[in-house]
Amino acid sequence: MVELKAIELREVSLPLVRPFRTSFGEESGKRAILVRAIGDDVEGWGECVASEEPRYSEEWLDGAWMALERWMAPSVLGGEVKRPGDVVERVRWIRGQRMAKAAIEAAVLDVWLRKAGVSLSDYVSGVRDRVPCGVSVGIAPTAKAMLEEIRGYLAQGYRRIKMKIEPERDLAVVRAVREALPDTPLSVDANGAYTPADTPLFEALDELGLMMIEQPLDTEDLTEHAALQGRLRTPICLDESIRSARDALAAIGLGACRIINIKPGRVGGILEAKRVHDVAMRSRIPVWIGGMLETGVGRAANLALASMPGVTLPGDTSASDRYFPEDLTEPFVLSPDGTMAVPGGPGIGVDPLPGRLEACTVRASLIKP
């Protein structure tokens, strides 16, 4: 049982080591909302992955802040939280806003687990203490620049390279990288930038021995993804289209994908992320844990999820130095064998460093019952 005294929101802003470009735009810095759930003697942390603008999904950072401050924190405060699942129940009346819901659930779950002395990895029935890591490479101006960046990551040990693609910067770049690196596990992620009319492009990509093609078509296009998957040997991996365990069931049933990328923010929480994992595992659909350029707070939770038994592919859980000159937590470090340690301490197992937190905070709000 957890009695919450207050919930604090903090917006943090961190420079990125290099801008991150996808088919929907470029991010040159990282803004995130951290949720701090303040219990009697323990505090817990969650990170909201809503981006500055509603491009990846309908949510955006300032909207998430308002939803958390005005409705979610007051709904969760007041009275005991009997089970971690209560958090999502109390905010169920608010439609959508999954990234904001996931952040508040994560913070309360972290308090809960710290009090119980249980790690998040154990709580989600994790089976490993190190996980294989991949890296997502933003769109670069030329194939040469992309290849150079990729070689740098491979030298560090990353086990899978995901290339972002967009119309006009797709086949030629991917082909050039594939020719230079014939044996590297490679995938592409379109972030929904194509339509069924682009099927010939995907048939050409199908010849390049990719591990998967991630979210080629629009979020809403489940039946279109199924038709495309029917024409390809390469597995389609769905990201944006999977917003719940129910979506996962529907997508698998339709044959819209053969792989799923799990992100707790996108599906509305860690508990729902576990349910997506369970649904996929029962259907023998491999999953991996995605990333939203999280600070160490969100990354710690992602690594815990990556320790679940059905997570059989390397994720976008990269080391701190791939994102930030300086992280908010002690940095996550990649081993030369391309794995990272799953935090083993209670809860998410890490805390923001107090000095870093102060230095990166741009606004804060304390909400009391």
Q: Residue numbers of the site for ligand SMG (CB under 6 A)? A: 22, 27, 51, 56, 136, 189, 191, 239, 290-293, 316, 318
Sort 334 into a burial class: Cβ within 10 Å, 0-12 / 13-18 / 19+. Answer: buried
Distances (CA, A) of 340 to 96, 186, 320, 359: 32, 20, 11, 27
Closer residue to ligand SMG in complex, CB, 265/346: 265
- Which does residue 316 bind out of ligand SMG, Mg ion, none, counting CB within 5 to 8 angstroms by kind? ligand SMG
Q: Evaluate whether 316 touches 332 at the Cβ level (below 8 Å).
A: no
Which of positions 158-197 make contact with Mg ion (CB under 5 A)?
189
Active site residue 274: no
| Residue whose token pair is 């129940």 | 89
Closer residue to ligand SMG in complex, CB, 16/201: 16
- Token pair in block for residue 182: 């014939």
Closer residue to ligand SMG in complex, CB, 162/356: 162
Least separation, in Å, of the C-beta of 304 and Mg ion?
A: 20
Residue of 199, 156, 197, 204 whose CA lies nearest to 178: 204
Least separation, in Å, of the C-beta of 316 and Mg ion?
A: 8
Least separation, in Å, of the C-beta of 358 and ligand SMG?
A: 24
Active site residue 162: no
CA dist., res. 195 & res. 211, Å (int) = 21
Percent helix, percent strand, percent coil in the chain, to nearest 5: 40, 25, 40
Residue of 69, 91, 60, 136 whose CA lies nearest to 302: 136
Q: Which residues neighbour 351 within 8 Å (Cβ) at sequence distance 6 or greater?
A: 45, 329
Closer residue to ligand SMG in complex, CB, 72/293: 293
Q: 30, 101, 162, 263: which one is catalytic? A: 263
| Residue whose token pair is 């059989």 | 312
Pairing of strands 186-189, 212-214: parallel
Which of positions 269-308 make contact with Mg ion (CB under 5 A)?
none
Closer residue to Mg ion in complex, CB, 119/317: 317
Which of the stretches 32-40, 206-214, 269-277, 354-362 binds Mg ion when contact is defined by CB under 5 A?
A: 206-214
CA dist., res. 57 & res. 102, Å (int) = 14
Does the protein bind Mg ion through residue 239 (CB under 5 A)? Answer: yes
Binding mask 33-72 for Mg ion (x = CB under 5 A): ----------------------------------------
Does the protein bind Mg ion through residue 105 (CB under 5 A)? Answer: no
- Token pair in block for residue 200: 């010939």
Least separation, in Å, of the C-beta of 361 and Mg ion?
A: 29
> What residues line the site for Mg ion (CB under 5 A)?
189, 214, 239
Catalytic positions are 164, 263
